[in-house]
Amino acid sequence: MRFILIIAMAAACLFFGFSQGEAKTRTAGDKKSSQQVLDLDNNGLKEIVKIDDKSDTDQRFTVMVMSQKKEEIDSVSAAGKFKKIELVDLKGDDSKQIVVHYKDLDGFYNVVIYRLKDDTLIKIFSTKSSYGVDTEFDSTLPRIKVGKAKYSGGSGYSSDVPDWEVWVWMEDRFVKER
């Protein structure tokens, strides 16, 4: 009986260990990939975009841009839990913008977009919501949808059904559509 109990406990530990290991696996397409190499500013030189995500604390992460010689060009940090990064060409000029998704310490979902100009990361858009933020960069007009509380009349807002504020990319900036 004791032998069967030991085998069952060992099997449970192995299963739990494998399932936990799979959840932390980082691949190139994963939201927590360690680094990506591409030409961010369309100057002919490739840069490395790397996330320093302290997954053991979930309190702070850093987005770093480095040269291929591993020299830091610039970096930005935020307090919260890193969710994912997207590298998109909003302008259609083969330069890439860095879109960072994270949940801050107050529980708000954040999307911040940076571009690299003259070796400096410049914030070009930022939004947050307690109801969620969704990006659509594969459409003709890139969009960011921001969940907002729907006004239910009287003195309150309905928190169970978000109303969406939509931002659309127009030439060189996001414009509020509705």
Please indicate, yes or no, if residue 57 is contained in any of the structural domains. Answer: yes
Please indicate, yes or no, if residue 6 is contained in any of the structural domains. Answer: no
Alpha-carbon distance of 120 to 10, in angstroms, equals 52
**Is residue 84 within 8 Å of 31, Cβ to Cβ?**
yes
Query: For residue 59, what pLDDT is reported?
Result: 86
Q: Is the pLDDT of residue 77 over 60?
A: yes
Query: For residue 45, what pLDDT is reported?
Result: 92
- Ranges 10-19, 39-48, 114-123: which has the least confidence: 10-19
Place of tokens 């406990």: 9
Query: For residue 73, what pLDDT is reported?
Result: 95
Specify the number of domains making up the chain. Answer: 1
- Pick 80 or 160 by higher pLDDT: 80
Average confidence (pLDDT) over 39-61: 86
Question: Which pLDDT band, with edges at 50, 70 and 90, does 177 fall under?
Answer: confident
Among candidates 127, 131, 132, 139, which has minimal Cα distance to 167? 127
Model's pTM, two decimal places? 0.74
Please indicate, yes or no, if residue 2 is contained in any of the structural domains. Answer: no
Alpha-carbon distance of 66 to 47, in angstroms, equals 6
pLDDT tens-place string over residues 127-140: 999 888 999 998 77
Alpha-carbon distance of 163 to 151, in angstroms, equals 9
Question: Which pLDDT band, with edges at 50, 70 and 90, does 150 fall under?
Answer: low
Please indicate, yes or no, if residue 10 is contained in any of the structural domains. Answer: no
- Pick 44 or 6 by higher pLDDT: 44
The CATH number given to whatever domain includes residue 107 is 2.40.128
- Pick 151 or 173 by higher pLDDT: 173
Q: Is the pLDDT of residue 15 over 70?
A: no
Please indicate, yes or no, if residue 1 is contained in any of the structural domains. Answer: no
Please indicate, yes or no, if residue 11 is contained in any of the structural domains. Answer: no
Please indicate, yes or no, if residue 24 is contained in any of the structural domains. Answer: no
Domain membership of residue 95 as a residue range: 29-176
Alpha-carbon distance of 47 to 43, in angstroms, equals 10
**Is residue 165 within 8 Å of 148, Cβ to Cβ?**
yes
Query: For residue 86, what pLDDT is reported?
Result: 94
Q: 121-132 b/e with 16+ CB inside 10 Å = b?
A: beebbebbbebe
Please indicate, yes or no, if residue 136 is contained in any of the structural domains. Answer: yes
